[in-house]
Amino acid sequence: MSNARTARFSRRGLFAAGGALGLGALVTACGSEDSKNGGSDAKGAAKSGPWSFKDDRGTTVKLDKVPSNIVAFTGVAAALYDYGIEVKGVFGPTKTKDGKADVQAGDLDVSKLTVFGNRFDQFNVEQYAAFQPEVLITTTFDAAGSLWYVPETSKDKIAKLAPSVAISVFDRQMPKPLQRMAELAESLGADLKAAKAVEAKKRFEAASERLRKAAKSRPEIKVLAGSASDAIFYVSGSNFSIDLEYFKALGVNLVEPPEKAMEANGGWFENLSWENVDKYPADIIMMDDRASTIQPADITEATWKKLPAVKAGQVISRSPEPILSYDKCTPLVENLAKAIESAKKVA
């Protein structure tokens, strides 16, 4: 779907939220599709030749050679890894408190990465400069092309050190950013015709068809996308999120908070108190899987435990910031299809 309006609300507000994008950070712009263990071999681009890529801001970055000293948002690095493209430096959720890989790190070996910032508003510019990056790659969650997880306070300094590339994950369905990430990976040397890459895309397409059939056969099953924090439960609408827009297009019966209820959050989601967590009846609840949110097993609120979907065990995970490779997005689609196929009508 295409929305003429632009989501406008504070970046700090988005960080504090959690429904659509969760406890992340919307930040300002500077001016895979394969299996595990590295995915497809990086054969496509000549390492010594010139490189250019036009990103989703309409910005074309040109370099004398294909970049090898790449810095990327962690989720982007994880997607490129699935194509066999190595990213040496990252920023964004990379390690959990116990030092293990964050869910957004995918199959990356986080012990081998240079991490310039592990959380919102954390980016070591001096370390980044010493790293001598050739390009910075991230996503963008708004129509303005703001660079995800690049802090407002240091964006200008960061922009002077290397050109940036942004893949849009705003107001479009999942296949589009998946395609764009594949094109980016190919420009960096990935072989999209390799057997693993071709098979990964086929699995995604098969999963999508399975979800379409499940939704068509079970139209009565209502699905809610939620996210939990200490004081607030967030219910996402499908207006801008790439996964929810896609699921809705495939026929999934999603809970949709009224636009007025989401206005304060730019149209992304509605804030509910835990006392009102039962406002929207749902047969399946998809919960934000990021480390910055409270996971279902750790929710102690009595109102949560009384929800029919919770009592029926019909709670599944959701990745509001999916790793943009076919290999990683396929399970997200499959899990929802399976949940709808087997769900009891409880709402």
What's the farthest any 2 CA atoms get from each other in the chain? 61
Q: What would the pLDDT profile of 84-99 be if each residue is shown by its tens digit?
A: 999 999 999 999 999 9
Q: What would the pLDDT profile of 276-333 be if each residue is shown by its tens digit?
A: 999 999 999 999 999 999 999 999 999 999 999 999 999 999 999 999 999 999 999 9
pLDDT of 269 above 60:
yes
The candidate with the shortest Cα–Cα distance to 143, out of 119, 171, 120, is 171
% of the chain residues with pLDDT over 90: 85
Residues near 220 by Cβ (< 8 Å), separated by ≥ 6?
253, 283, 345
Task: Return the pLDDT at 47.
Answer: 53
Higher pLDDT, 14 or 278: 278
Please give the backbone phi and psi of residue 317, each rounded to the nearest 5 degrees, phi first.
-85, 155
Q: What is the mean pLDDT of the chain?
A: 89
Task: Return the pLDDT at 153.
Answer: 95
Higher pLDDT, 47 or 250: 250
Task: Return the pLDDT at 257.
Answer: 97
- As a whole number of Å, the CA-based R_g of the chain is 20
Residues near 126 by Cβ (< 8 Å), separated by ≥ 6?
none
Task: Return the pLDDT at 49.
Answer: 80
Task: Return the pLDDT at 23.
Answer: 41
122: left (phi over 0), alpha (psi -120 to 50) or beta: beta
pLDDT of 223 above 70:
yes
Q: What would the pLDDT profile of 19-73 be if each residue is shown by its tens digit?
A: 444 444 333 333 333 333 333 344 444 455 899 999 999 999 999 999 999 999 9
Distance CA 178, CA 21 (A): 18
Mean pLDDT of 325-345: 98
pLDDT of 126 above 50:
yes
**CA end-to-end span of the chain:** 28
Task: Return the pLDDT at 48.
Answer: 59
pLDDT of 15 above 70:
no
Residue whose tokens read 């599709």: 33
Cβ burial 64-96 (10 Å sphere, 16+ → b, else e): eebbeebbbbbbbbbbbbbbbbbbebbbbbbbe
